[in-house]
Amino acid sequence: MIAAAPLADDLADLEAIFDDALEAVMPNPVALRFTDLPLAYQGKRDLVFALALMEEGENEAALIAGLAHDALARDPSFDAAHLLREAWYYLRTSIDPAWQFDDPPATFGPALAYVGALVKLRVAAHVRPAHAPSDLPDADARRALLARLR
């Protein structure tokens, strides 16, 4: 059974990463702060994805985690295990389409930590000088990162 409180904490951590990402990559007049906008988690996730700071599988996993949170908020007895499996599937296949089968971890935490780590790397790559080498990991390094966070 997936508990609502740890998922809410993990989503809050990822939302803070989204806030930092939006602040870093978008022109931001003094009067506009993304933390003050009524976008909430899903709206910020949409913006971060639209800015190409997440790949599709990462976005799907983050979306599904948010949906699981909403369902658990409505009904704490909601069984979100199928949503966790689906989120894990999207992450695995975004790294390697052949990586079809694997058991997900017991919570969304590792998946959201993985998404957050990659968003941070992409923000750093976005704001670095054009002549600096890319720090984005290849598929093997991303697979290792996801396994380590598990």
pLDDT digits (tens, 9 = 90+) for 28-73: 664 466 566 678 899 999 999 999 999 999 999 999 999 999 999 9
Q: What domain range includes position 83?
A: 4-149
Amino acid at 49: F
What does the pLDDT average to over 16-31? Answer: 79
pLDDT tier, 97 (very low <50, low <70, confident <90, very high otherwise): confident
pLDDT at 13: 96
- Whether pTM > 0.85 for this model: the answer is no
Assess contact for 22 and 43: CB atoms under 8 A: no
Question: How would you class 39 by CB atoms within 10 Å of its CB: exposed for 0-12, middle for 13-18, buried for 19 or more?
Answer: middle
Number of domains in the chain: 1
Kindly report the CA angle at 79 between 15 and 66, in degrees rounded to 5?
15
